[in-house]
Amino acid sequence: MTTPIDTPISEDALRQALADGYRRLAELGLNTGSAGNISCRFDGGALISPSGADAHSIDAQAIVSITMDGENRSPGIPSSEWSMHTAIYRHYPQALAVVHTHSDACVALSAQRRPLPAFHYMLAGFGGDGVPCARYATFGTDALAQSAVDALAGHTACLLANHGMICHAVSIEKAVANAAKLETLARQYWMSAQLGAPVVLDAAEMATVRDRYRSYGKARLPRGAGAA
């Protein structure tokens, strides 16, 4: 769903987009079984995938409406990670949709408790010079929610130590796409690391990339002074 969540969209349409997004995460191999979750802002609270959902059973009616404090506004049991989602919405007004996955390469890096450094310029799309790894906390706890909020400062994605990843975006579709992009970059970093320590781009180059990203897709980019 490409329409930003802050434009008028019906609850039914958002529920369907979330169910579709959850299935898409499984199709992309980013989640298996009932792992991972997806949500969007809605009516001062959020719509979120239910606890124990899987790609075969989820539908629009299964999506749960909650307040920012996790109180149900519709039938169902919200994802065990609802507090992580709502904490991100409370702290980051620009976050309109959130995706959390247990995708393979992100989990592998998170188990090393290391950030994903700027080995590739596309990491600038997540807001910084790399993607940080949040400190470990037990799943489904307020401690994990706070850890994610802290790690996301200045970023739209982070790894979760010994767990996976989480990202936010301005639409459900964009959040799903960003989760897929982060998994691809994590896998590419892992592949490069098999050959030795990858060369990391410096802060000045990443600042240049972020500046060019401001016009990406909106206007023809100038060639600039860099090498072709």
- Per-residue pLDDT of 128-165, as tens digits, reads 999 999 999 999 999 999 999 999 999 999 999 999 99
The set of residues, in sequence order, having a beta carbon less than 8 Å from that of 175 and lying 6+ positions away, is 21, 38, 97, 98, 99, 167, 168, 169
What global pTM score does this model have? 0.91
**81 part of the active site:** yes
Q: Within 10 Å of residue 57's Cβ, how many Cβ atoms?
A: 10
Tell me what the mean pLDDT of segment 61-73 comes to: 97
Distance CA 26, CA 31 (A): 5
Q: Within 10 Å of residue 173's Cβ, how many Cβ atoms?
A: 17
**Residue 34 predicted with pLDDT over 70:** yes
Strands 133-134 and 157-160 turn out to be parallel
Q: Looking at residue 228, what is its pLDDT?
A: 31
What phi and psi values does residue 144 have, to the nearest 5 degrees? -65, -40
**DSSP reduced 3-state for 41:** strand
Active site residue: 11, 27, 71, 81, which one?
81
